[in-house]
Chain A
């Protein structure tokens, strides 16, 4: 390749976008479809001209932030078009249009170039027949078994249920077009509400009978679909910002008490379904501690509720995911990258924004997208705040309807959710994969860069960060207080004298309650066993074969359940079993006495949490060099003997670690537990019982659910300790 001299600067693409958007804003009030189409054409053609004149489109590929922006803008523009939003949101879309066009053109050009390069490179053409033949001879029977069985399981229990859901999404009332359900989701006011009325207020001020003034922050309702999107976006952005901030300070600065900070920052990662949202609800109620503070300071109380409450609860629960990813990204940056910049005179914010952040961005973004997915599918916060105007709650409530039949509209909604989550996930995965080179060092020293904090920094850390970290750990602290009755289930007080282990004991003594614990334990154990077997087959096949399409497909299929919302699995399984097992005990429509929920739940668990186990087992196989196996094969051992006799014992700690992590995520699973499990309450697991307690539909109180939360925290603590202390491995907290 030769260098082309160009006069076109990259910022011209922004100018193009800006002008197009400006034209739209100027014409906004009089615009008609033809003029608007013309504007879109202008944006595209402009980008095309710049492309032809040799603008450096590769910048989009290589610049970390720019490629990220492109992915985000693509999703944005897509939704603006689908939802037919007009006004300023559309102007923003027009601003992105030239950039997107350029990215697409550049992508196509690069594809053509690499295609030509490879065509030139290929000297000998090997026919498909010969390729298949060599592969066939190369693989042993046992590897065939692994590949075929692994694929079969993923196809039957993952692909087919999701496809069935999609099929039902197109079930429409007679006389309606086939896309009717989707049309409804994108066009009815319940889902998308773009005009606001004076009653749609972000907060209201209320005066109680006793004369107290209370600010009630509720958030604005934009309709189910937009609510979910806006909520997920707000949660993701805030969590990302907080996560980066905390991670950067903890990774780069040294100050007294840093270890304590790091431990405190991990606390929100302990999963306590429902209870975290519940504690936040108490904290921010008109009788909660925040109101007590504001009331003494300003004379008014505060209550955060509805959509705003959901967002707050999710931010507090999910920000550590970004924090963990950002932290490991920061400490994985080759120190010489920053030292070089310092050496050339860079420091402080300039250094951070020009070198550090761009290099850490792929890791951070990987965490952010998980937050986005988790926020979309989260049920805990919406159920506790009784916020039904979210996609997740809608799907969930369709399971609890009297008819026992899930409506096709919910299948369509599930598909929209799946589309959002997996598209984001796949885009980010390729983005991160493309950029993981940033962390590859080629020798040289590797000591962490750490600085002492100045007094300003110390003030910030102790006055802002410490309260923030303690605050985000509140839900987990709260669950312990609730479980031991130190904190009452409603209102707010700390009564140390009323502390009692009674509720905790009741978990094991009351047979009506213990059944849920027993269910969870049995299901989790069986499911984890299944998941481990599947994981070994898949991880071995993926790490030891290099088949062109099959290997990456298998890899993706085994990872993607991470991005598939649990509710989508629940919907898919509902259709799957009610279609193929109609009339058998596995049919969810059989009613709460005949339906055997436990089998369905176990399979759902083992598929949903498969990625956690696969990842650990795969890491184990990576540790065993292929030459080690080849040496054994060379000396006459059969492949199965090598796998079961040499490799598996060698990586046993990895397998067990994977199994333990799997066990934890299965025992805390919510989405399928309360939907599929809810169809047969006596076979439901702990999380279902916890939800019922928080909804107030049980004879026992919230304390019992809190005690269950404490039990789950204990499980997780033990798991962390076994993995880190006994197996000397890293505990795989959620991360891509």
Chain B
């Protein structure tokens, strides 16, 4: 069981700051996800942890051991690459056994013990019986499992997963992410997971760190970063949101009152900080709206609009509601039958409206 700690890690490629003073700590046994758009520095951070890159500044600790300058082959991390990096010239068995054979003397393993452990790993990923196949004879999902088995078999201190599911089709991706989560919990192995898919990140992680342009913007449990983004980028990147700019007017008890010119009304919401600047923005998730009852309280955020567009998505209905000068994204239950042109009054519960400083970083 290993804790991983990064302190002020900075990596610069030429004139690009790929990782900008990254600091976080991963608890032992935790599944920690680095989430962000491509080029945000998440893979660089992972590669620094694996030892493929040496940071210009900062330190990397495994437990309390400083590994910043330790060679990758001495770290005992195991990485699963985006393209799986399976060696086409080795069988599944040889691929999985590779790490054990390399450390054979160090660990004092016999060929029989190696065989047992490979068998164990292949059973974990449900690939028993494919030992003698070559990677090219396997499907994408199977290749993914081999890569996972190869990483797990060495019982690494830290498991590193670099966008492991991005080459799979949608259905398989959901199946595999469940399986990775289950395996990770079962083995209790400290895992750092890199992805650009926010759904994947939220479904799988204990905690998520959101990165953009080399900076770590926010980290916390999925629920927290989803409902309480401290930053417009995070709010926009995680899930879908209506983001509207406005002017901070003052406090109504614990709720902040914001004047939104585009809606031509005042909105009450929860602020992430007590000292809000004058220019703020509100974030409203499309699924938090509910239909307004006959007599709504004047302190509720009631919006009246005309339905512009209706899209049936199966598990829900998405509509565009024209309110004053803007269009809102609103999800409705799939039991309703909204039609374009229909008038609709909806409420955005003030506990679910987030008020943020209007800046993107």
Contacts of A64 in B (CB 8 A): 89
Which B residues from 70 to 96 make CB contacts under 8 A with A? 71-79, 81-85, 87-89, 91
Contacts of B154 in A (CB 8 A): 344-345
Contact yes or no, B167 A442, CB < 8 A: yes
Contact residues of A: prevailing secondary structure: helix
Contact yes or no, A340 B88, CB < 8 A: no
CB of A341 closer than 8 Å to a CB of B = yes
Contacts of A359 in B (CB 8 A): 87-89
CB of B129 closer than 8 Å to a CB of A = yes
Interface string of B14-56 (1 = CB under 8 A from A): 0000000000000000000000000000010000001110000
Which A residues from 33 to 69 make CB contacts under 8 A with B? 56, 58-59, 62-65
Contacts of A62 in B (CB 8 A): 88-89, 91, 134, 136
Contact yes or no, A343 B78, CB < 8 A: yes
A344-B98 contact in complex given A58-B134, A339-B52, A443-B167, C-beta closer than 8 Å: yes
Residue of B nearest to A64 (CB): B89
Contact yes or no, A340 B81, CB < 8 A: yes
CA of A341 to CA of B99 in the docked complex: distance in angstroms?
Answer: 8
Contacts of A65 in B (CB 8 A): 89
Contacts of A56 in B (CB 8 A): 91, 132
Contact yes or no, A355 B87, CB < 8 A: yes
Residue of B nearest to A343 (CB): B79
Contacts of A437 in B (CB 8 A): 88, 136
Q: For this complex, into which size category does the number of interface residues on chain A fall? A: 20 to 34
Contact yes or no, B87 A345, CB < 8 A: no
Point out the residue from B51, B83, B131, B134 that lies within 8 Å of A3, measured CB to CB.
Answer: B131
Contact yes or no, A337 B87, CB < 8 A: yes
Contacts of B43 in A (CB 8 A): 445
Contact yes or no, B131 A345, CB < 8 A: no
CB of B150 closer than 8 Å to a CB of A = yes
Contacts of A438 in B (CB 8 A): 88-89
Contact yes or no, A444 B83, CB < 8 A: yes
Interface string of A244-263 (1 = CB under 8 A from B): 00000000000000000000
A354-B85 contact in complex given A3-B130, A344-B78, A345-B76, C-beta closer than 8 Å: no
Contacts of A342 in B (CB 8 A): 52, 71-73
Contacts of B162 in A (CB 8 A): 444
A339-B72 contact in complex given A58-B134, A345-B99, A437-B136, C-beta closer than 8 Å: yes
Interface string of A562-602 (1 = CB under 8 A from B): 00000000000000000000000000000000000000000
Point out the residue from A358, A441, A442, A443 that lies within 8 Å of B89, measured CB to CB.
Answer: A358
CA of A344 to CA of B97 in the docked complex: distance in angstroms?
Answer: 10
CB of A350 closer than 8 Å to a CB of B = yes
CB of B102 closer than 8 Å to a CB of A = yes
CB of A336 closer than 8 Å to a CB of B = yes
CB of A286 closer than 8 Å to a CB of B = no
B285 smallest CB distance to A (angstroms): 31
CB of A347 closer than 8 Å to a CB of B = yes
CB of B240 closer than 8 Å to a CB of A = no
Contacts of B150 in A (CB 8 A): 340, 344
Contact yes or no, B72 A343, CB < 8 A: yes
B28 smallest CB distance to A (angstroms): 20
Contact yes or no, A3 B129, CB < 8 A: yes
B170 smallest CB distance to A (angstroms): 17
B106 smallest CB distance to A (angstroms): 8
Q: For this complex, into which size category does the number of interface residues on chain B fall? A: 35 or more
CB of B110 closer than 8 Å to a CB of A = no
Which A residues from 437 to 462 make CB contacts under 8 A with B? 437-438, 441-445
B71 smallest CB distance to A (angstroms): 7
CB of B126 closer than 8 Å to a CB of A = no
Contacts of B167 in A (CB 8 A): 442-443
A339-B87 contact in complex given A56-B132, A344-B99, A347-B71, C-beta closer than 8 Å: no
Contacts of A58 in B (CB 8 A): 132, 134
CB of A346 closer than 8 Å to a CB of B = yes
CB of A2 closer than 8 Å to a CB of B = yes
Contact yes or no, A336 B132, CB < 8 A: no
CB of A334 closer than 8 Å to a CB of B = yes
Point out the residue from A354, A443, A444 that lies within 8 Å of B98, measured CB to CB.
Answer: A354
Contact yes or no, B85 A336, CB < 8 A: yes
Interface string of B132-173 (1 = CB under 8 A from A): 111010000000000000100010000000100011000000
Contacts of B182 in A (CB 8 A): none
Which B residues from 97 to 119 make CB contacts under 8 A with A? 98-99, 102-103
A339-B81 contact in complex given A346-B98, A354-B98, A442-B167, C-beta closer than 8 Å: yes
Residue of B nearest to A435 (CB): B88
Most buried by A among B76, B88, B130: B88
CA of A187 to CA of B294 in the docked complex: distance in angstroms?
Answer: 109
Contact yes or no, A336 B89, CB < 8 A: no
Contact yes or no, B166 A344, CB < 8 A: no
CA of A339 to CA of B86 in the docked complex: distance in angstroms?
Answer: 11
Contacts of B83 in A (CB 8 A): 334, 336, 441-444
Contact yes or no, A346 B89, CB < 8 A: no
Point out the residue from B73, B134, B166 that lies within 8 Å of A343, measured CB to CB.
Answer: B73
CA of A345 to CA of B97 in the docked complex: distance in angstroms?
Answer: 12
Contact yes or no, A347 B81, CB < 8 A: no
B181 smallest CB distance to A (angstroms): 22
Contacts of B82 in A (CB 8 A): 336, 442-444
Which A residues from 341 to 368 make CB contacts under 8 A with B? 341-347, 350, 354-355, 358-359
B102 smallest CB distance to A (angstroms): 4
Contact yes or no, A350 B102, CB < 8 A: yes
A339-B89 contact in complex given A56-B132, A346-B73, A442-B167, C-beta closer than 8 Å: no
Contact yes or no, B129 A2, CB < 8 A: yes
Contacts of B76 in A (CB 8 A): 345
CA of A680 to CA of B75 in the docked complex: distance in angstroms?
Answer: 72
CA of A120 to CA of B102 in the docked complex: distance in angstroms?
Answer: 43
Contacts of B98 in A (CB 8 A): 341, 344, 346, 354
Contacts of A59 in B (CB 8 A): 91
A2 smallest CB distance to B (angstroms): 7
A689 smallest CB distance to B (angstroms): 50
A415 smallest CB distance to B (angstroms): 36
Contact yes or no, B79 A339, CB < 8 A: yes
B3 smallest CB distance to A (angstroms): 20
Residue of A nearest to B150 (CB): A344
Contacts of B134 in A (CB 8 A): 58, 62
Which B residues from 156 to 202 make CB contacts under 8 A with A? 162, 166-167
Residue of A nearest to B100 (CB): A344
Residue of A nearest to B147 (CB): A340
CA of A3 to CA of B131 in the docked complex: distance in angstroms?
Answer: 8
CA of A346 to CA of B131 in the docked complex: distance in angstroms?
Answer: 22
Most buried by B among A2, A342, A346: A342
CA of A621 to CA of B85 in the docked complex: distance in angstroms?
Answer: 31
CA of A62 to CA of B77 in the docked complex: distance in angstroms?
Answer: 29
CA of A319 to CA of B232 in the docked complex: distance in angstroms?
Answer: 60
Contacts of A2 in B (CB 8 A): 129
Contact yes or no, A344 B102, CB < 8 A: yes
Residue of B nearest to A341 (CB): B98
Interface string of A57-92 (1 = CB under 8 A from B): 011001111000000000000000000000000000
Most buried by A among B102, B130, B133, B162: B102
B51 smallest CB distance to A (angstroms): 8
Contact yes or no, A337 B85, CB < 8 A: yes
Please give 5 more A-B residue pairs, beta carbons under 8 A apart, in addition to A341-B98, A345-B73, A347-B73: A2-B129, A343-B78, A344-B150, A345-B103, A345-B154
10 A/B residue pairs, CB under 8 Å, sorted by A: A3-B133, A58-B132, A336-B85, A340-B150, A342-B52, A345-B103, A355-B87, A359-B87, A443-B166, A444-B82
Q: Which 6 A-B pairs have the closest CB atoms?
A: A344-B99, A3-B129, A336-B85, A340-B85, A442-B83, A336-B81
Chain A residues in contact with chain B, CB under 8 A? 2-3, 56, 58-59, 62-65, 334, 336-337, 339-347, 350, 354-355, 358-359, 435, 437-438, 441-445
Chain B residues in contact with chain A, CB under 8 A? 43, 50-52, 71-79, 81-85, 87-89, 91, 98-99, 102-103, 129-134, 136, 150, 154, 162, 166-167
